[in-house]
Amino acid sequence: MISIDSDSVLSDCTSSTTASSERSSPALLCSDEDDPLIPSAADIKRTYHVGKATWAFFLQEALNMPQGLWPTKLLDPYIALSQVPALPSELPRSNVLHGRPRWHLRQRARGIKYPETSVSGNEWDPALVSGRRVTFCLGHQDSLRCGISPQAAACYLGTSSMTMNSIAVLTLCWSYVLSTRFLELQGKLVQYSTHRLRPQRGSKPHQPTLYLDGASPALVRWLCAILCPGLGWSAPGKLLPPWAASIDANVGIAVSAPASAEGTLAAPNSSEAIELLLELCRLCGLGTEADQNDQDWTALPPYKAGFFAALMLPFYRFTGLRPQFPPPHLSTKDAAGFDDNIDQAATRRLAQGLRYFMTLSLHPPSLGSILWSIFWQPDIECNLVSPWLAAIIDTLDPTIHAKRAEILVKTFASRRPKVAFWWLALCLLGDVSVLDWIRRYAQTQSEQYGYGSLSPPDPMVSAWVGSKQSFLDFDKTSCYTGPSDLVTRADLLRCRFDCKLQDSASTTLSWRPFGHTSKQCIEPDLWPSLEADYVREYSTFTWYLGKQRRATSLGYQRESGRAIEEVRDMVEVRLPGDKCQAPCRHDIKLAPSKEATLNMLSLLVEDASGTRHWANAAVLLQNLHPWMRDWEGLDTMEIPDRRAPDADDTPKRPSWFLQEWIEGMHEGNE
């Protein structure tokens, strides 16, 4: 336990307070030394100062990074693919696709890791358990509209002018590649629609323009289709792929190119579109900067920036965000910035892994659980979430207010690179309001007003990516063999989760539950799990394709045979050096700690069979706890009768009107 002087902070509500002062600040976290749910003042102070020191360290790490350059490992998207399954090679032509993970639940000797088990055999293995059903949306009625703005979030990432001038075009290029590859998996072919731009010579002043002298007719025709207002391509069926995107009608992009007879050209398939993308990058020099000598740092190549942004298109649609790009401007005058050996190979490698990237991209809740795990800390307990998040926002708020997206993402990268990659992609797609999400999440545990939060963790996704998101991702800490053992609530909820792996109704919890429960208070159905020494490990993912057809994916690393460079999360906390000088007040909101604690209680009251009863929580409360007023969890479980033994059970007399109605005095009256 980290020790900090309990007098180092004087806060509105971090010291013991009277009932009157607690009522005066209902939105702030107020300590209570004797309450079973509310943390003590010392714990609140310790957590806040450790959080401040920890995030100040990562912020300083970001400030020390070279401006405009990124950690080389961060720009390798394959670091986030570990066990991500590939989309099936044949997709159904429906609007949804379902699948389930499979888990290993196996006994072990302490400290010994089980070897991987092949799934090719036909023998039934009781240690393999299917998880909850996951639903993927495969189509939408229209394309996602993209705007042009000089205030796009990508402008604050410190990227080169070449990347800023090309990201709108390259994102739409990758949008087409992802869409056509997806349609090919469904057995559909793309064709050009009647919407298109017309090549012209020259342009109007201040008009976003692509100068394509020397471009092939196929490239010119393709760009005229994907950059026109309205979708310049179509496919059979009523639904469009989740990556379909188009430019707003009020954005006038000009394509300057020689007149050519390209009207009869067919729309390219995904492989042909990659070749056209490579041609564009060669013509306009959209590759890695050639003057980089440090292998640890690199500028973000334009073709990667466009790919990263395109992966977030389904997430933007799902959350109501609007893609925004800086005004595009491309020219063929400088074509020296694309290396056929390095950049072409990297682009083709991205194309080869599309089916894996598409799986994560296609499921916004999975991306949400990844994004918000950036703030999760393994040893922070549920009722101490508020001071931890308050410390984060106090540290990062000046950076957020100044829209220094580059520093913000680099701060994340210094802590959790696999997660920071998706924050980089989120910002590249341009909606600057995502920066405000962080402040709102730190204060309310909900990133968007009026939307359900995407922050709850998903153990399946943490296994896919190889980056933990919650206490559920850790093994049980002990075997509770004695009948009177005290079981940590974290281990209790781990065992209950493992007994209900197919349950999709309960919300998962990221922060660590606090306290202990006597084994005698736990349902006997769970005792074998509490006593056993076992592990839960991710195995495979099974897709359900309809008509009894299934496809199983082992995940990228096992199927490709390629080693993924190890990138470690830095989740160790830093000890604070300086103490607060009194008076020092910190705005520590109540909502995060309250919500996390109530989520913990909601999980505690439900036993392994799904029965909800307050006795399952084994929390002794004299009266209705102030945090539980208006809590919906009380409406969904059986509440024991807590009336005093001498309570008067005499039935109450009905009202005068009800008594008259019972006696028939109002019969016949309308």
Angle at 367 between CA 512 and CA 68, to 5 degrees: 105
**Does 368 or 107 have the greater pLDDT score?**
368
Specify the length of the chain in residues: 670
Q: How far is it between the farthest Cα atoms of the chain?
A: 98
List Cβ neighbours of 134 (8 Å cut-off, separation of 6 or more).
Answer: 98, 99, 100, 101, 363, 460
Given this model, what pLDDT does residue 548 score? 83
Question: Does residue 373 surpass a pLDDT of 50?
Answer: yes
Given this model, what pLDDT does residue 12 score? 46
Strands (E) in 564-660, as ranges, are: none
Given this model, what pLDDT does residue 551 score? 96
Three-class secondary structure of residue 210 per DSSP: strand
List Cβ neighbours of 637 (8 Å cut-off, separation of 6 or more).
Answer: 605, 606, 612, 613, 614
Question: Does residue 8 surpass a pLDDT of 60?
Answer: no
CB 457 within 8 A of CB 493: no
Amino acid at 441: Y
Confidence band for 641, pLDDT divided at 50, 70 and 90: very low
Given this model, what pLDDT does residue 500 score? 93
CB 555 within 8 A of CB 85: yes
By C-alpha distance, which of 618, 607, 316 is closest to 454?
316
What predicted TM-score, i.e. pTM, was given to this entire model? 0.89
Given this model, what pLDDT does residue 615 score? 86
| pLDDT, tens digit, 9 for 90 and up, residues 576-612 | 876 665 545 688 999 999 999 999 999 999 998 888 8
Amino acid at 39: P
| Structural domain spans, the chain | 29-109+363-630, 144-354
Given this model, what pLDDT does residue 77 score? 94
Three-class secondary structure of residue 589 per DSSP: strand
Q: Which two tokens stand for residue 452?
A: 């359900």
Q: Give the DSSP letter of residue 472.
A: G
Amino acid at 592: P
CB 332 within 8 A of CB 381: no
Mean pLDDT value across residues 83-90: 96
Cα(408)–Cα(1) distance, rounded to whole angstroms? 29
Question: Does residue 10 surpass a pLDDT of 60?
Answer: no
Question: Does residue 471 surpass a pLDDT of 60?
Answer: yes
Given this model, what pLDDT does residue 413 score? 97
Mean pLDDT value across residues 335-339: 65
Given this model, what pLDDT does residue 120 score? 45
CB 197 within 8 A of CB 172: no
Least confident window among 63-72, 234-243, 363-372, 641-650: 641-650
Mean pLDDT value across residues 614-636: 76
Three-class secondary structure of residue 433 per DSSP: coil
**Does 355 or 568 have the greater pLDDT score?**
355
| pLDDT, tens digit, 9 for 90 and up, residues 173-230 | 999 999 999 999 999 999 999 999 988 876 677 788 899 988 999 999 999 999 999 8
Mean pLDDT of the chain: 87
**Does 235 or 665 have the greater pLDDT score?**
235
Amino acid at 504: S
Strand partners, 523: none
Confidence band for 24, pLDDT divided at 50, 70 and 90: very low
Cα(571)–Cα(337) distance, rounded to whole angstroms? 38
Mean pLDDT value across residues 33-44: 91
Given this model, what pLDDT does residue 421 score? 97
Confidence band for 547, pLDDT divided at 50, 70 and 90: confident
Given this model, what pLDDT does residue 642 score? 42
Given this model, what pLDDT does residue 137 score? 96
Confidence band for 643, pLDDT divided at 50, 70 and 90: very low
Least confident window among 41-50, 143-152, 197-206, 287-296: 287-296
Cα(265)–Cα(223) distance, rounded to whole angstroms? 13
616: exposed, middle or buried (Cβ count in 10 Å: 0-12, 13-18, 19+): buried
Cα(166)–Cα(162) distance, rounded to whole angstroms? 6
| Cα separations in angstroms, 230 against 181, 195, 322 | 20, 6, 16
- DSSP H helices, 383-416, are 385-401, 405-415
List Cβ neighbours of 207 (8 Å cut-off, separation of 6 or more).
Answer: 252, 253, 254
Mean pLDDT value across residues 43-64: 96
In the chain, pLDDT over 90 holds for what percent of residues? 65
* Dihedral (CA of 642, 643, 646, 648) sign: negative
Confidence band for 450, pLDDT divided at 50, 70 and 90: confident
Confidence band for 297, pLDDT divided at 50, 70 and 90: very high
Confidence band for 622, pLDDT divided at 50, 70 and 90: low
- Residue 70 CB neighbours (<10 A): 24
Angle at 391 between CA 627 and CA 316, to 5 degrees: 85
Question: Does residue 457 surpass a pLDDT of 80?
Answer: yes
Given this model, what pLDDT does residue 114 score? 44
Given this model, what pLDDT does residue 627 score? 86
Rounded to 10 degrees, the C-alpha dihedral 532/537/541/542 comes to -20
Given this model, what pLDDT does residue 323 score? 97
SS3 content of the chain, % helix, strand, coil (to 5): 40, 10, 50
47: exposed, middle or buried (Cβ count in 10 Å: 0-12, 13-18, 19+): buried
